[in-house]
Amino acid sequence: MRHSHPLPGAAHHRQAALPPEAGAQERAQILHGLLQPQARLSPKYFYDQHGSELFEAITRLPEYYPTRTERAVLRRHARAIRAAVGAGGVVIEPGAGSCEKARVLCRLLAARQFVGVDISADYLQAAVARLRAQLPGLDARAVGGDITAGVQLPDDIARQQRLVFYPGSSIGNFDPDMALALLRHMHTLASAGGQAQDTGGILIGIDLPKDVAVLQAAYDDDSGVTAAFNRNILAHVNRLVGSDFDPQQWRHEAFFNTTASRIEMHLAACGPQRVRWPGGGRDFAAGERIHTENSYKYPLADFTALLQRAGFHAPQAWTDERGWYALVHARA
């Protein structure tokens, strides 16, 4: 195997790395991806402290329309969304993070309970504490965990009128089969009441296909913030597995794959690269790429079909005037 043998311990131009921070299993997963003929990293590794700050900066870029468009859709169709979802229920948000979108939605729906779920448990805990202070009538909880691994909610979360809220077009980061599995899990969470008259459902943000130049600019902005965000994954991976990637030697690439209807982000080696980590390493030729992200852009009909395959029904969608982004509600 060309890529998997330990490299000779010759003198190296960079300092010895610190010991890996990731556990054995996670480390093995990351290295497995790096050793594929087409190297890949999971986009979840974008989000260390610095990466989360860079993503915040992306959401404020003039080119990055999804965040502000989603906010506009929610504002524009607030009454209709409230009428469809119903007031006074439970809002469950996977990947709740700062809980800023949750605050807007819980206020709109006069929600009784909120459950934020996030891998960054400490960050979430602090955000949920702020949410409680801002909406005193809301019983807000933080649950640390990864929705893709399947979460258990506390027993005292009401089982009726549950709404799974999944904004930000985060569903677009998963391949369609994984997205379907995730939507099925969300369906289970939303239908915990188990009765036909239960009004559980999902409210999910979807980025729609549009002019390729608009998509391209959103993922390759003029100020280079997205490029820095993409490169930062290597600094994070260095800490996780003890590798010695030099992020400055990798070029940001983003393009729309029309066949798959997705933006792809890659990092391309600026010159030949020898990357090492404890126990192994890999050489990359100049121009060789690491695939870091897919961001699917679903035509609305394709996405509602996916929702139906996951067990949801009666989908209803609201969009902005340009038809760039949709908030979709469906019943469990």
> Residue 219, interface with ligand AVJ (CB under 6 A)?
yes
Cβ proximity to ligand AVJ: between 173 and 243 the closer is: 173
Give min distance, CB of 237 to ligand AVJ, in A: 16
Closest approach, Cβ 219 to ligand AVJ, in A, equals 5
CA dist list (Å): 300 to 201, 210, 305, 327 = 18, 12, 9, 10
The string of DSSP codes covering 47-72 is -SHHHHHHHHHHHTSSS--HHHHHHH
Closest to ligand AVJ by CB, 153 or 179: 179
Neighbouring residues of 175: CB distance < 8 A, sequence distance ≥ 6: 294, 296
Least distance in Å: CB of 162 to ligand AVJ?
Answer: 23
Which C-beta is closer to ligand AVJ: that of 205 or that of 315? 205
Residues 91-150 that bind ligand AVJ (CB under 6 A): none
CB nearer to ligand AVJ: give 295 or 304.
295
The SS3 assignment for 202 reads strand
DSSP helix/strand/coil, 126: helix
Among 113, 161, 169, 316, binds ligand AVJ (CB under 6 A): 169
Q: Minimum distance between the CB of residue 172 and ligand AVJ, rounded to whole angstroms?
A: 5
Closest to ligand AVJ by CB, 99 vs 332, is: 99
Q: Which of residues 284-303 bind ligand AVJ (CB under 6 A)?
A: 293, 295
Return the residue of 69, 113, 170, 243 that touches ligand AVJ, per CB under 6 A: 170
The DSSP code sequence of 207-225 is: EPP--HHHHHHHTS-TT-H
Candidates 131-139, 140-148, 169-177, 193-201 — which segment interacts with ligand AVJ by CB under 6 A?
Answer: 169-177
Number of helices followed by number of strands (H, E) in the chain: 10, 13
One character per residue 249-268, x = contact with ligand AVJ (rule: CB under 6 A):
--------------------
Please state, in angstroms and as integers, the Cα–Cα distance from residue 321 to each residue in 62, 326, 328, following that order: 18, 10, 15
Cα 14 to Cα 128, 246, 288, 289: the distances in Å are 42, 9, 21, 21
Least separation, in Å, of the C-beta of 284 and ligand AVJ? 22
Stretch of residues binding ligand AVJ (CB under 6 A), selected from 115-123, 131-139, 166-174, 281-289: 166-174
Q: Which contiguous run of DSSP H or E holds residue 92?
A: strand 90-94
Cβ-closest residue to ligand AVJ?
Answer: 295
Cα-Cα-Cα-Cα torsion 287, 288, 293, 298, nearest 10 degrees, comes to 80
**Gap between the Cα atoms of 142 and 124, Å rounded:** 6
Across 200-324, where does the E strand assignment appear? 201-207, 250-257, 262-269, 273-277, 280-284, 289-296, 313-319
Q: Which of 161, 226, 238, 316 binds ligand AVJ (CB under 6 A)?
A: 226
Q: Compute the least distance from the CB of residue 173 to ligand AVJ, in Å.
A: 5
Q: Which of 51, 168, 201, 281 binds ligand AVJ (CB under 6 A)?
A: 168
CA–CA separation, 252 and 58 (whole Å): 15
Q: How far is the CB of 154 from ligand AVJ (least distance, A)?
A: 27
Contact 58, 232 (CB under 8 A): no
Terminal C-alpha separation, the chain: 48
* Residues from 33 through 72 that contact ligand AVJ (CB under 6 A): 58, 66
The residues that touch ligand AVJ, with contacts defined as CB under 6 A, are 58, 66, 168-170, 172-173, 219, 226, 293, 295
